[in-house]
Amino acid sequence: MASTVIGAGITIEGEVSADEELVVQGTIRGKVDAREGVTVEAGGTIEADITGGPLTVAGSVTGNITSSDRVDLQAGARVVGNVKATRITIADGAQFKGNVDMDV
């Protein structure tokens, strides 16, 4: 199963677009478009608007999230930005500041 892993020591400044799942342990600044979804692990940081599939966040995201699927903020997640998703979970211990739009 292909996936892209941005390791803990890596920083990408620019646009990232992926046709496969993106796992972020490092830092991305700019713009992220991941059709198959993004997992931001604890310690991972995304400072960018994110569009794409399902999103799982245990790290830090600063930017607007537009997901065609679900968004899960796990304990330890820190998200600042607006979230547009079909489903959302915010676990106990996650921090979130922004609007949630579920197209209701």
Q: Which residues bind another protein (CB under 8 A)?
A: 2-23, 25-26, 30, 39, 41-43, 56, 58, 72, 74, 89, 91
* In contact, 80 and 99? CB cutoff 8 Å: no
Cβ closer to another protein: 53 or 98?
Answer: 53
Of 55, 47, 42, 48, nearest to 8 by C-alpha is 42
Amino acid in position 43: G
Cβ closer to another protein: 70 or 84?
Answer: 70
> Rounded to the nearest whole angstrom, what is the least distance from the CB of residue 91 to another protein in the complex?
7
The tokens for 83 are 């979230």
Cβ closer to another protein: 23 or 66?
Answer: 23
Cβ closer to another protein: 5 or 100?
Answer: 5
Q: CB-based burial of residue 65 (10 Å sphere; 0-12 exposed, 13-18 middle, 19+ buried)? A: buried
> Rounded to the nearest whole angstrom, what is the least distance from the CB of residue 80 to another protein in the complex?
21
> Rounded to the nearest whole angstrom, what is the least distance from the CB of residue 78 to another protein in the complex?
16
Q: How many residues does the chain have?
A: 104
